[in-house]
Amino acid sequence: MHILKQVDRILEKIEGHLIVLILSLMILLSFGQMLLRNFFDLGIIWGDTLLRQWVLWLGFLGASMAAKQNKHISIEVFSNFLSPYWKQIIKSFTQLAAGIISGFLAWSAWSFMIFEKESESVLFLDLPVWIFQIVLPYSFIVIALRFIISGATVENSDSGQPL
């Protein structure tokens, strides 16, 4: 488990840098497109398509980081009525269930990406579509692992000891 946590920390740093890079490139490309269109009646034909792909990457990398930092969407209807012990039990169960579901989503995303690769679809500049879809299975695999690690290492909030 220690090795998985170490790899997870490295992935978190890489993802953070990648998010900053993609967001910076998106701002530059959007601004460049605006300038080209408004002042020169020109534009980069594939620019908008690339921006849509980068939005996909930002969304999935952001979801992966949210799972790491436990900032994902959660619904806690009965949390005010439960003891801390039962809160931790339920949290562990939901984290493990989310990990399993994310694993299934990773498998589906992988199948989808392979289908696109076999169909040899091209997005722009002769770049295959599947290259931009690599983020889908990657993110779901990492999200699944993060949920499973989190669910397996839930601590009792009273004692700080694992349940």
pLDDT of residue 3: 86
pLDDT of residue 70: 85
Write down the residue that tokens 């169960």 correspond to: 93
pLDDT of residue 84: 87
pLDDT of residue 129: 94
pLDDT of residue 87: 87
Residue 145, domain extent:
2-152
- Taking Cα atoms as reference points, which of 152, 154, 114, 150 lies closest to residue 133? 114
Return the CA Rg of the chain.
20
pLDDT digits (tens, 9 = 90+) for 113-153: 999 999 999 998 999 999 999 999 999 999 999 999 988 88
Is residue 159 a part of any domain in this protein?
no
pLDDT of residue 158: 46
Task: Give the global pTM.
Answer: 0.85
Residue 119 has phi, psi (to 5 degrees) of -80, -10
CA distance 55 to 92: 31
pLDDT digits (tens, 9 = 90+) for 38-91: 999 998 999 999 999 999 999 999 999 999 988 888 777 777 788 888 888 888
Specify whether the CB–CB gap between 106 and 82 falls below 8 A. no
Band (163; pLDDT cuts 50, 70, 90): low
Is residue 157 a part of any domain in this protein?
no
CA distances from 60 to 45, 56, 83, 87, 106 (A): 25, 6, 34, 28, 12
pLDDT of residue 80: 79
Is residue 20 a part of any domain in this protein?
yes
Name which of 19-23, 99-103, 134-138, 146-150 the model is least confident about.
146-150
- Please count the structural domains in the chain: 1
pLDDT of residue 82: 85
Q: What is the mean pLDDT of residues 4-27?
A: 94
